């Protein structure tokens, strides 16, 4: 069975290590905050200028001056810091953020990513995505393996305008965990009950299947 959005987020959260500074994009990545393993501590960075993002506020705590990068009201966690946008992107572009998790339309075997613009549709802008893919030490892309018409999003070469080149090393989809290296997608794990054949069929770029591929452990 393909994973649900929450199950993808659950698998993403297993990647985090104790003491990581993490930036989560909008959508599935944001859900990963709900599944951080209990025994570790991570600090969430919000690129509008908050390190140590807490939960959404209660009605009493709502403050128009406290928002996250998605422009939602938010709180600061214990030990948080707040700073200006240049400082925020200095920590991103300077390689100080350990993990960034973001969605994508397409990823290719060279690790290039397209996530911000579909020609012919209105262009809204890239926000901080180009800075994040250029700067973070580790980037995880989360997305469905194929679009709703069944077309693969893991390609020999991206067709849409790029967000960044040769920067993606790890992808977690509803079907699999894959590593990107040597111009191929290397299958590392599969979703419970998903066959290697199904993953092959839905991966347009070169797929390397080496040895036994374990099922993901979701708990």
Q: Which residue from 2, 28, 50, 141 is in contact with other proteins, where contact means CB under 8 A? A: 50
Clarify whether 106 is annotated catalytic. no
Q: Does residue 80 contact residue 45 with C-beta atoms inside 8 Å? A: no
Helical (H) or strand (E) element with 5: helix 5-13
137 touching other proteins, by CB under 8 A: no
43 touching other proteins, by CB under 8 A: no
C-alpha radius of gyration, the chain, whole number: 17
Q: Which residue from 15, 161, 213, 218 is in contact with other proteins, where contact means CB under 8 A? A: 161
Interaction with other proteins in 58-117: which residues (CB under 8 A)? 58-59, 62-68, 70-74, 76, 82-86, 88-89, 92-93, 112, 117
In angstroms, what is the minimal distance from the CB of 192 to other proteins? 31
CA–CA separation, 142 and 104 (whole Å): 7
Q: Environment class of residue 167 by beta-carbon count within 10 Å: exposed (0-12), middle (13-18) or buried (19+)? A: buried
Binding mask 22-41 for other proteins (x = CB under 8 A): --------------------
- Assigned token pair, 208: 């390397």
Q: Does residue 38 contact residue 32 with C-beta atoms inside 8 Å? A: no
Q: Does residue 126 contact residue 116 with C-beta atoms inside 8 Å? A: yes
Q: Which of 47, 72, 87, 106 is catalytic?
A: 47
Q: Which residue from 56, 157, 195, 196 is in contact with other proteins, where contact means CB under 8 A? A: 56
163 touching other proteins, by CB under 8 A: yes
List residues with catalytic annotation: 47
């Amino acid at each position: 069975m393909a994973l649900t959005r929450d199950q993808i987020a659950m698998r993403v959260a297993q990647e985090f290590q104790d003491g990581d500074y993490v930036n989560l994009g909008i959508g599935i990545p944001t859900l990963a905050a709900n599944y951080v393993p209990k025994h570790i501590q991570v600090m969430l960075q919000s690129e509008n200028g908050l390190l140590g993002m807490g939960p959404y506020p209660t009605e009493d705590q709502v403050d128009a001056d406290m928002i996250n990068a998605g422009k939602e009201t938010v709180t600061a966690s214990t030990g948080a810091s707040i700073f200006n946008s240049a400082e925020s992107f200095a920590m991103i572009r300077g390689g100080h953020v350990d993990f960034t998790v973001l969605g994508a339309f397409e990823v290719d075997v060279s690790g290039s990513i397209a996530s911000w613009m579909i020609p012919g549709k209105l262009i809204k802008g890239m926000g901080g995505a180009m800075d994040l893919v250029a700067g973070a030490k580790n980037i995880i892309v989360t997305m469905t393996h194929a679009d709703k018409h069944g077309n693969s999003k893991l390609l020999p070469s991206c067709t849409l305008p790029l967000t960044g080149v040769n920067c993606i090393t790890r992808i977690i989809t509803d079907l699999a965990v894959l590593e990107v290296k040597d111009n191929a997608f290397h299958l590392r794990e599969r979703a419970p009950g998903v066959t290697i054949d199904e993953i092959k069929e839905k991966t347009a770029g070169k797929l390397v299947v080496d040895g036994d591929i374990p099922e993901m452990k979701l708990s």
